[in-house]
Structure 1
Amino acid sequence: MFAIIKTGGKQIKVQKDDEIFIELLNEDENTKVTFNEVLMIDDKIGAPFIKGATVTGTIIKNGKDKKIRVIRYHSKKNIRKVYGHRQPYTKIKIDAISTGASATKKVTTQVPEASE
């Protein structure tokens, strides 16, 4: 069973026991978190979210990614700037995916035949 959740402005596909990296959450380690914005579970699609569906997980750690260096350079102008950035993240282990009662199934549309 898999689910697609929305968090931090991104959509992430998760399964039970997955470890995912998301935007930083202001929570401590070993804290349970619940994601209510579930877009899809297996073949059930929400409009836009599945009502009552939740994905729960445990925060493993908060940290920062490797530093990236951005260099700004203008030739013949003696302009050289170096910027650095470390993106903060939260690492989460997915514990459970629960479905909602009123999920809609994916429906394929059929074209009606023309009768003469």
Structure 2
Amino acid sequence: MYVLVEIKGKQYRAEPGSVLKVDRIPEEKGAAVEWNSVLLVGKEGETSVGTPYVPGVTLKTRVEDHGRDKKIIGFKYKKRKNYRKRWGHRQPYTLLKVEEIAGV
């Protein structure tokens, strides 16, 4: 069984026991978090799609860790004008361990 869940404006496919890498959420490490925004539930042989969410279905997760991704380098320049600008960005993330899909 799997679900499609919306977390902070992005969609993730989750199964019990899987780990999701999502944008940073303001929860402590080890905290339990429930998500009600389940868009789709897939079981063997049948699929139920929400309008926009499937009623009564909840994804229960636990915060495993927080971190930052590898650095992404941005660069822009203007030709013949001696203008160059370079910057880096490290996106913060949270790892969520899927414990249970409740209400199915």
TM-score when scaled to structure 1? Answer: 0.83
1:88 equivalent in structure 2 = 92
The structure having more radius of gyration, on CA atoms, is 1
Match of 1:40 in 2: 40
* Distance in 2 separating the partners of 1:83 and 1:25: 24
4+ long deviations beyond 4 Å: none
Deviation at 1:58, TM superposition (A): 0.8
Aligned partner letter, 1:25: I
Q: Residue by residue, what CA displacement relative to the aligned partner does 1:80-101 show, whole Å, maximum 9, x if unpaired?
A: 100111111100110001235x
CA distance in 1, matches of 2:24, 2:80: 41
Aligned pair 1:59/2:87, yes or no? no
The structure where strand makes up a greater share of residues is: 2
Over the aligned positions, Cα root-mean-square deviation in angstroms equals 0.9
| Count of residue correspondences | 100
Identify the residue that residue 98 of structure 1 maps to in structure 2.
102
Structure 1 residues not aligned, in runs of 5+: 101-116
The structural deviation recorded for 1:24 is 0.8
Given that residues 41 and 99 in structure 1 are in contact (C-alpha distance below 8 angstroms), is that contact kept between their aligned partners in structure 2? no
Tell me the amino acid that sits aligned with residue 89 of structure 2. H
Aligned-residue sequence identity (percent) comes to 32
> What secondary structure, in the 3-state scheme, does the structure 2 residue paired with 1:48 have?
coil
Instruction: Tell me the amino acid that sits aligned with residue 12 of structure 1.
Output: Y
